């Protein structure tokens, strides 16, 4: 039962947080970082303080080499502690396994203790249940009482983050760029990933927060797997599943031959992993815990399109409706916002979203000794298809942290955030504290401890690490990939191969926004006049179409109603911004 509960909690975050993994390794050498996560003397020798007056802060400003635009040329190692004052920063965050929090909260966790002692920065954690974060944030915003630091507020703030900065709610990190050299260096030094720069920079002079990053590029929206043992029984392999039709036939076989009641598992987001990007449209819906608003992309001939408002999305809806009507998807799929783990561990489903590092938890939780899972590639509509849109491999991932514009010491808050992207800070944040979450094996390799491998709660290693190291699903930092794989004596090579297999398709990105594109403030304000109503209408009606409550023969009527609500006006806003961008950038 503990394993089952642990797995359900794990999938809870999949359903809630699947929002942006090919493998372009970056330098994550931790050999010079001591076990306590502090910087060695050789790392800090370039950091100096004025001789005439000892500052209480070891800020980075003025201590690193910059280019002509003021951006850092390399990573920066902080002289520690960063602060010797008694200032306290309030941190609005969440915990996905809050039942394991001690009575004292984060103040009793080794990692938070070590981080605060190392940096000298006192953090007061405001741990909000993830289910109530939206309501809690709305209350804080209405009272104009935002904490100094906050996680993922872009999911809860009704306007755009540019609006939020202009309205005086959030700090523009760009204005404090001299205090975050590590974060900026990572953002500008990864031209191999076109997602990094526009994710960090809303425009060339606006940074809304600190995005969680990884040292290797993975699909941050997860993958999809299938029961490998069932494929074996059918004399098939995952290589046989190439097209959507192949996937449909596999689901039928799993139902008929393996007794899977609802062989294809989806949640109320319908397609959070972006598995069906072969339709060249976004196929993810909003859910009560994560509003998406209508997603726009550049379509053929430079014409802006919104998801679930064209023929391509109609085809996807029709496919899903067919699967529901034939019993291949649980008709109660819209209630699966907590990730019903039992469907994958009891044989109800044989095809499901999977985070590769958590596949082991799925196998361990099932009573079937033959159970194992394999990765599926993104299906094509036709063999040889080139994908124009999709969740490509990226260094960016789930979490982020924003800073209140009313924080009394924004440079200190920015510096604390930047610490987690520094060599020493990212090591401590990723691995946690030696003796608690990791130790050296006989060969000098870092391995997970029994404490996190066989915890009495039955929780999985990966989710325990979000409590006993930093919570990468909600917070900011630079996650060293090896720390996610230290449970595996083989270094997690199977996990990396899983990701590589999922990403093995032809992709040209023709329908993606160009790097650096964004709406300006006036355009954002105009768009938001229509966004929420469009989002609600789209979500409600797509659910009705998929479930058969509304016949697909009424699709044109649905589109007409979208236009009445403001679809054309919303498209016009994006089209104007895109056309202006093309003119300005050739």
pLDDT given at position 137: 96
- Beta strands (DSSP E) in 385-480 are 394-403, 438-440, 446-448, 478-479
At 19, the pLDDT band (50, 70, 90 cuts) reads: very low
Residue 15, both tokens = 């359903």
Model pLDDT for residues 79-107, shown as the tens digit of each residue: 999 999 999 999 999 998 999 999 999 99
Please give the Cα distance from 401 to 199 (Å, whole number): 13
Q: Across the strands, what pairs with 507?
A: 387
Is residue 404's pLDDT more than 60? yes
pLDDT (mean) for 297-311: 92
Please give the Cα distance from 162 to 166 (Å, whole number): 6
Domain ranges of the chain: 2-48+55-219+394-487, 225-277+311-375
- CA-nearest of 389, 345, 375 to 496 is 375
Least confident residue range of 31-35, 59-63, 442-446, 519-523: 31-35
Report the mean per-residue pLDDT for the chain.
86
- CA-nearest of 329, 331, 338 to 288 is 338
pLDDT given at position 22: 28
Is residue 380's pLDDT more than 80? yes
- CA-nearest of 402, 527, 468, 477 to 114 is 468
- CA-nearest of 145, 181, 173, 148 to 58 is 181
pLDDT given at position 427: 98
Please give the Cα distance from 264 to 273 (Å, whole number): 14
Is residue 224's pLDDT more than 50? yes
- CA-nearest of 277, 267, 275 to 225 is 275
Characterize the bridge pairing of strands 394-403 and 201-203: unpaired
Q: What is the DSSP letter of 215?
A: E
Please give the Cα distance from 101 to 105 (Å, whole number): 6
The residues, ordered by sequence, that sit 6+ positions from 114 with a Cβ below 8 Å of its Cβ are 36, 37, 428, 433
pLDDT given at position 24: 26
Residue 447, both tokens = 């391995």
Residue 123, both tokens = 């953090």
Model pLDDT for residues 26-36, shown as the tens digit of each residue: 233 333 333 33
At 39, the pLDDT band (50, 70, 90 cuts) reads: very low
The third-level CATH classification (topology) of the domain covering 2-48+55-219+394-487 is D-Maltodextrin-Binding Protein; domain 2 (3.40.190)
* Residue 524 near residue 499 (C-beta atoms within 8 A): no
**Residues composing the chain:** 586
Least confident residue range of 110-119, 183-192, 292-301: 292-301
Q: Which residues of 325-349 are buried (b: 16+ CB within 10 A; e: fewer)?
A: eeebbbeebbebbbbbbbbbbebbb
At 18, the pLDDT band (50, 70, 90 cuts) reads: very low
DSSP element (H, E) containing 521: helix 521-547
Please give the Cα distance from 527 to 519 (Å, whole number): 9
* Residue 17 near residue 289 (C-beta atoms within 8 A): no
Model pLDDT for residues 121-143, shown as the tens digit of each residue: 999 999 999 889 989 999 999 99
At 20, the pLDDT band (50, 70, 90 cuts) reads: very low
Residue 208, both tokens = 């809304």
At 44, the pLDDT band (50, 70, 90 cuts) reads: very low
The residues, ordered by sequence, that sit 6+ positions from 422 with a Cβ below 8 Å of its Cβ are 39, 75, 76, 77, 78, 182
Could you tell me which residue, 284 or 172, shows the higher pLDDT?
172
pLDDT given at position 359: 80
Residue 244, both tokens = 């959507």
Q: Which residue's structure tokens are 């080794």?
A: 110
- CA-nearest of 428, 248, 424 to 325 is 248
Provide, rounded to the nearest whole percent, the portion of the chain with pLDDT above 90. Answer: 62
pLDDT (mean) for 216-223: 75
Is residue 25's pLDDT more than 90? no
At 495, the pLDDT band (50, 70, 90 cuts) reads: confident
The full DSSP string for 330-374 is -TTGGG-TT--THHHHSSS-SEEEE-GGGHHHHHHH-S-TT--EE
pLDDT (mean) for 247-268: 95
Distance from chain centroid for Cα 304: 25
Calculate ∠ Cα 387-390-396, nearest 5°. 140
pLDDT given at position 384: 94
Cis amide bond preceding 81, omega within 30: yes
């Amino acid at each position: 039962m503990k394993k089952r509960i642990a797995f359900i909690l794990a999938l809870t975050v999949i359903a809630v947080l699947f929002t942006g993994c090919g493998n372009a390794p970056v330098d994550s050498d931790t050999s010079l970082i001591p076990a306590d996560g502090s910087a060695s003397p050789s790392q800090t020798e370039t950091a100096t303080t004025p001789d005439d007056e000892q500052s209480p802060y070891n800020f980075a400003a003025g201590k690193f080499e910059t280019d002509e635009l003021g951006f850092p040329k390399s990573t920066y190692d902080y002289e520690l502690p960063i602060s010797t004052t008694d200032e306290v920063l309030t941190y609005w965050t969440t915990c996905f396994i809050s039942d394991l929090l001690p009575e004292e909260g984060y103040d009793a966790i080794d990692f938070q203790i070590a981080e605060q002692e190392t940096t000298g920065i006192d953090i007061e954690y405001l741990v909000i249940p993830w289910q109530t974060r939206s309501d809690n944030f709305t209350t804080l915003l209405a009272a104009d009482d935002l904490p100094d630091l906050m996680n993922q507020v872009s999911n809860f703030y009704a306007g755009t983050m540019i609006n939020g900065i202009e309205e005086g709610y959030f700090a523009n990190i760009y204005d404090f760029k001299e205090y975050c050299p590590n974060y900026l260096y990572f953002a500008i030094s990864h031209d191999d990933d076109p997602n990094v720069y526009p994710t960090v920079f809303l425009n060339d002079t606006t940074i809304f927060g600190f995005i969680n990053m990884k040292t290797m590029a993975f699909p941050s929206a997860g993958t999809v797997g299938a029961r490998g043992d069932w494929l074996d029984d059918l004399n098939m392999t995952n290589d046989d599943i190439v097209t959507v039709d192949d996937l449909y036939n596999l689901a039928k076989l799993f139902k008929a031959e393996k007794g899977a009641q609802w062989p294809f598992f989806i949640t109320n987001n319908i397609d959070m992993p972006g598995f069906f990007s072969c339709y060249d449209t976004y196929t993810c819906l909003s859910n009560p815990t994560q509003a998406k608003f209508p997603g726009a992309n550049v379509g053929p001939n430079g014409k802006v399109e919104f998801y679930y408002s064209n023929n391509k999305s109609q085809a996807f809806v029709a496919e899903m409706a067919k699967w529901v009507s034939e019993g291949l998807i649980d008709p109660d799929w819209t209630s699966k916002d907590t990730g019903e783990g039992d469907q994958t561990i009891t044989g109800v489903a044989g095809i499901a979203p999977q985070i590769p590092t958590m596949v082991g938890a799925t196998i361990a939780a099932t009573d079937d000794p033959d159970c194992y899972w394999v990765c599926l590639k993104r299906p094509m509509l036709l063999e040889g298809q080139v994908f124009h849109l999709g969740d490509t491999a990226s260094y960016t991932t789930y979490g982020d942290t924003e800073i209140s514009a009313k924080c009394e010491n924004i440079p200190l808050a920015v510096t604390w955030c930047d610490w987690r992207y520094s060599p020493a800070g990212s090591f401590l944040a990723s691995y946690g504290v030696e003796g608690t979450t990791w130790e050296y094996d006989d060969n000098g390799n870092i391995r997970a401890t029994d404490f996190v491998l066989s915890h009495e709660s039955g929780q999985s290693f990966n989710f325990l690490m979000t409590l006993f190291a930093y919570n990468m699903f909600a917070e900011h930092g630079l996650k060293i990939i090896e720390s996610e794989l230290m449970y595996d004596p083989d270094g997690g090579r199977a996990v990396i191969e899983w990701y590589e297999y999922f990403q093995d398709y032809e992709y040209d990105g023709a329908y993606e926004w160009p790097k650096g594109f964004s709406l300006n403030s006036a355009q954002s304000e105009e768009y938001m006049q229509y966004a929420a109503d469009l989002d609600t209408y789209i979500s409600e009606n797509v659910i009705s179409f998929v479930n058969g409550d509304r016949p697909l023969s009424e699709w044109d009527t649905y589109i007409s109603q979208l236009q009445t609500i403001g679809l054309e006006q919303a498209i016009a806003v994006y089209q104007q911004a895109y056309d202006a961008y093309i003119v300005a950038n050739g």
